[in-house]
Amino acid sequence: MKSILVTGATGLLGTTLVPHLKSCGYHVVTHARSGRADLLADLDNRSSAFELMEQAKPDIIINLVGLTSVEQCQEQPNAAYLANTLTVENLVLWILKTGTASHLVQISTDQVYDGMAVHTEDQVTLTNNYAFSKYAGELAAAHVPSTILRTNFIGRSKVSNRESITDWVFTSLRDGKQIQVLRDVFFSPLSMATLAGMIQLVIEKNPLGIFNLGSHNGMSKADFDFAFAEYLELPTSTMSRIYSSEAHFLKAYRPKDMRMDCSRFEETFGIKLPDLKDEIRLVAREYHDIT
């Protein structure tokens, strides 16, 4: 049985992925910077990263560490570099120095794309510091046997101090708050539950290279939010569609179109990824117990 180290295991995706992998019988070692995890370390510190890796000696590393706030990455580029690039460089350097046959699964982002199209893996356009730092992390990961997954995910947060996009929409509409949603920003995310299953496939096969991993028939974030509300029969009178140029709450540029062509992933694994509408329905079920 493969030994799996999940770094950043206490974040949004990790709190879904770790229980899924454990339920499948994998030996999972969890890492976090602080809090409740098997191993605690700052991975942007090389000696701390090396010490952690020597303790874990994993067959598979699933790296979920990252600074995902687009605004914070834009305002603090060095913080973006430390979290999204240097942490990967340190993991890679340990693999290279020790000659360990660890396979790295690097979770990247759909924000490396822009321009109105459904993007293949070679159509990179970097438009903000977050995307740049995550892409630099990809370049580092490529120096060792690795699977790089460009993705975006949705679902109910299991982390007390972290709110997902669907959490925000749900609580805002339930409480009657006025919110604005973006009509000209497109994406094709997966639910965290589906993504966890896809990552399980990756660690079983360990394919090399970069893969888009998302849903079919992506839509604007506004259409997504309205569809999510419709499945839960939430009132939408307080939700209005705006263009991103009108969104004064966004201080950093966001790509307008992050939809992905995931045929490479589907062909590699012989599967069909779900439609985004089906993923919205799946995620909506996670909120039924609190509606």
Tens digits of per-residue pLDDT, 51-66? 999 999 999 999 999 9
β partners of residue 113: none
- Per this entry, what is the length of the chain? 291
Q: Answer yes or no: are the C-beta atoms of 133 and 73 closer than 8 Å.
A: yes
How many other C-beta atoms are found inside a 10 Å radius of the C-beta of residue 202?
A: 20
Closest CA to 97 of 56, 128, 143: 143
Walk me through the domains of the chain, giving residue ranges and CATH numbers: 3-163+189-217+257-274 (3.40.50.720)
Q: What is the pLDDT of residue 291?
A: 58
The pLDDT score that the predictor gives to residue 116 is 87
Work out the burial of residue 76: count CB atoms within 10 Å of its CB; fewer than 13 is exposed, 13-18 middle, 19 or more buried: middle
pLDDT along the chain (291 residues), means of 10: 94 97 96 95 98 97 97 97 98 97 97 95 98 98 98 96 95 97 97 98 97 98 98 97 94 95 98 98 91 58
Of 216, 214, 15, 208, the C-alpha closest to 112 is 214
The pLDDT assigned to 288 comes to 86
Q: Three-state SS for 65?
A: coil
Whether 149 contacts 107, CB under 8 Å: yes
258: its two tokens? 């992050």
